[in-house]
Amino acid sequence: MYQFSRSMYRELADYVVPDAGNCAMGAAKTRLLSSCEAAVERLAADRHYFARPARSLFNDVRMLFPLSKQLVAYNVIERHMRLAADYVDIQARVGHSLTGAPLVCHATTRRGTPCQREPLPGSRYCPSHKHLDDELELTATAA
């Protein structure tokens, strides 16, 4: 995931401007880099619960760019975060976790606790909750 955050940073670093006296150029670029890495790490760690990663990252770093470059910055962030999300989704379908933690079912039990079973290959749900995966596919195709 390192390559996604660093590639995004390299494209955006030229557009960064420091605050009006509050922060130096180096500090602004460091903040951009740490925000990019944090967003990509969160995307890798809990993809299922990170609904709009591009919007979240842009809201964190938009004050680092002049108004004339904010659309460019958003487009760069959106493109890189979409690529990272696609990569995470492909790895999850294969059955690999990017953080090293074992994959777990995305469903919750009747008590409201997360299901601890391992999901089926190519699915986000375990055998007990596989019917939820079918319902999501049906609603996605209907929409």
Q: How many CB atoms lie within 10 A of CB 91?
A: 15
Number of domains in the chain: 2
Same domain, 90 and 106: no
What domain range includes position 130? 102-143
What pLDDT is recorded for position 116? 83
Average pLDDT, the chain: 82
Same domain, 51 and 119: no
Instruction: Tell whether the model's pLDDT for residue 143 goes beyond 80.
Output: no
Question: In whole angstroms, what is the distance from residue 39 CA to residue 133 CA?
Answer: 27
Instruction: Tell whether the model's pLDDT for residue 1 goes beyond 80.
Output: no
Same domain, 89 and 113: no
The pLDDT-based confidence of 142 (bands split at 50, 70, 90) is low
Same domain, 6 and 41: yes
Same domain, 84 and 132: no
| Nearest residue to 30 (alpha-carbon basis) of 55, 71, 64 | 64
Same domain, 50 and 7: yes
Task: Read off the pLDDT of each residue in 44-59 and give the average, rounded to a whole number.
Answer: 86
Same domain, 75 and 133: no
Question: Taking the model in full, what pTM does it have?
Answer: 0.70
What pLDDT is recorded for position 94? 62
Instruction: Tell whether the model's pLDDT for residue 102 goes beyond 70.
Output: no
Same domain, 109 and 140: yes
Same domain, 8 and 69: yes
What pLDDT is recorded for position 89? 78
